[in-house]
C-alpha cells in the first residue's frame, strides 16, 4: 500500500480541503457526516435522506470528491438514504492510501464501509472511476448489490490511448495544459463556474492517478445479474461509449444502456434517467 502524499504540497492540500469544507457547508439538503475506519484507511461519508429509506451509495469520479453530487443530491435523497463516499486516495477527506487496483482490495474496502453502516443490500451509483469501483464491488459481492448504475464508467473496455497521451502532455504545461484538458473532458457542457474553479484548484495541487484502470473479464461480468443501467456520452474523449454499451448489453442480462448524443465524458442532468430506472 502506498503512503506517499497524493498532493503536490501541504499548502496545496490545505487549499483543496478548505474549499471542499466550504462546499459541504452549502450541501443542498440536511446531512450527516460519518467517518468509518477500515483496514485501508479512514473513509469520509456525507449521508442525506431519511434513515429508514432504501440506501444508495454514490462513488464519484477521479480527481474529485463527493462535492460532484451536490447538483443531484436533492433528488437522490428524496426517497432514499444516500451515502456520498469519498474514495480513498482521491482529493477528498478520506485517507490518502491507494490500495493496488489489482485484486479485491477495493471490493473489501467498500464491504467494510457497508458493514460499518449496517447495510445488507445496496444500490450503487458510480461515475467514471467510481463506476469502476462500483463494478469491483458488484463482482466481489454480487449478492449485496440490488441495482447498479454506471455513469461514463471505466473498466468495461480499454480507455482511448489518445486521451492518455494528451493527459500526460498537458499535465506538464501548467494552467494552460489544464485548460486544454478541461475542454476535452467537459466538451460542450456548460459547467458551473464554482465547479470549474474547484476542478482547476485540484488539478494544480493534486497528483492524479495515471494510466488505464484494469479491465473486467467476461468471467467477472458474468457474475452481474442485478438490474444495471449504463449511461455514456457519444463524444466521450476518454472512453468509447458505444463499445462499452455493446459489451454491457452482451454480458449483463438485466442491463439497459443509454449513449447520449452531443455529450462528452462529463454527464450533466442525467439524475432523472437514473431515478426513472430505480423506480422502474
Residue 172 has pLDDT above 80, yes or no: no
Dihedral angle, C-alpha 233, 234, 240, 245, nearest 10 °? 80
Cα torsion 213, 217, 218, 223: sign? negative
Task: Name beta bridge partners: 32.
Answer: 47
Task: Name beta bridge partners: 35.
Answer: 44
Q: What is the pLDDT of residue 182?
A: 57
- For residues 280 and 272, give the distance between their C-alpha atoms in angstroms, rounded to a whole number: 12
- For residues 73 and 81, give the distance between their C-alpha atoms in angstroms, rounded to a whole number: 10
Q: What is the pLDDT of residue 169?
A: 54
C-alpha cell at 114: 457497508
**Cα 59–Cα 28–Cα 202 angle in degrees, nearest 5:** 50
Q: What is the mean pLDDT of residues 204-213?
A: 86
What is the separation of C-alpha 149 from the centre of its chain, rounded to a whole number of angstroms? 11
Dihedral angle, C-alpha 168, 169, 175, 176, nearest 10 °? -150
Instruction: Give yes or no for a contact between 232 and 245, defined as CB atoms under 8 angstroms apart.
Output: yes
Contacts of 8 (CB under 8 A, 6+ apart): 204, 205, 206, 207
Q: What is the pLDDT of residue 2?
A: 43
Mean pLDDT of the chain: 90
- pLDDT by residue (tens digit) across 230-276? 999 999 988 999 999 999 999 999 999 999 998 988 898 999 999 99
Q: What is the pLDDT of residue 174?
A: 63
pTM of the entire predicted model:
0.91
Instruction: Give yes or no for a contact between 65 and 20, defined as CB atoms under 8 angstroms apart.
Output: yes
In the chain, alpha helices (H): 10-24, 73-76, 105-116, 129-140, 161-170, 174-186, 193-205, 218-221, 241-251, 271-279
**Could you give the domains of the chain?**
10-279 (3.40.50.1820)
- For residues 55 and 51, give the distance between their C-alpha atoms in angstroms, rounded to a whole number: 8
Q: What is the pLDDT of residue 268?
A: 87
- Tell me the three state secondary structure of residue 129: helix
Q: What is the pLDDT of residue 266?
A: 87
- pLDDT by residue (tens digit) across 17-36? 999 999 999 999 999 999 99
Amino acid at each position: 500500500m502506498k503512503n506517499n502524499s497524493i498532493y503536490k504540497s501541504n499548502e496545496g492540500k490545505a487549499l483543496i480541503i478548505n474549499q471542499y469544507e466550504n462546499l459541504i457547508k452549502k450541501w443542498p439538503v440536511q446531512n450527516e457526516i460519518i467517518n468509518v475506519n477500515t483496514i485501508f484507511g479512514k473513509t469520509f461519508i456525507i449521508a442525506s435522506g431519511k434513515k429508514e429509506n432504501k440506501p444508495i451509495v454514490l462513488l464519484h469520479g477521479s480527481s474529485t470528491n463527493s462535492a460532484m453530487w451536490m447538483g443531484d443530491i436533492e433528488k437522490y435523497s428524496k426517497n432514499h438514504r444516500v451515502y456520498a463516499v469519498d474514495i480513498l486516495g482521491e482529493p477528498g477527506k478520506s485517507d490518502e492510501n491507494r490500495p493496488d487496483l489489482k485484486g479485491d482490495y477495493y471490493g473489501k474496502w467498500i464491504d467494510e464501509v457497508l458493514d460499518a453502516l449496517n447495510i445488507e443490500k445496496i444500490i450503487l451509483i458510480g461515475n467514471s472511476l467510481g463506476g469502476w469501483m462500483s463494478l469491483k464491488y458488484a463482482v466481489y459481492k454480487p449478492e449485496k448489490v440490488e441495482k447498479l448504475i454506471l455513469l461514463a464508467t471505466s473498466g468495461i473496455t480499454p480507455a482511448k490511448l489518445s486521451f492518455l497521451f494528451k493527459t500526460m502532455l498537458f499535465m506538464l504545461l501548467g494552467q494552460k495544459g489544464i485548460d486544454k484538458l478541461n475542454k476535452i473532458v467537459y466538451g460542450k457542457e456548460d459547467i458551473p463556474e464554482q465547479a470549474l474553479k474547484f476542478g482547476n484548484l485540484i488539478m494544480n495541487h493534486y497528483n492524479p492517478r495515471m494510466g488505464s484502470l484494469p479491465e473486467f473479464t467476461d468471467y467477472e461480468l458474468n457474475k452481474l445479474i442485478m438490474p444495471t443501467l449504463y449511461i455514456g456520452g457519444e463524444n466521450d474523449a476518454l472512453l468509447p461509449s458505444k463499445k462499452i454499451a455493446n459489451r454491457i448489453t452482451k454480458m449483463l442480462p438485466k442491463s439497459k444502456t443509454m449513449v447520449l448524443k452531443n455529450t462528452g465524458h462529463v454527464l450533466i442532468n442525467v439524475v432523472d434517467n437514473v431515478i426513472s430506472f430505480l423506480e422502474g
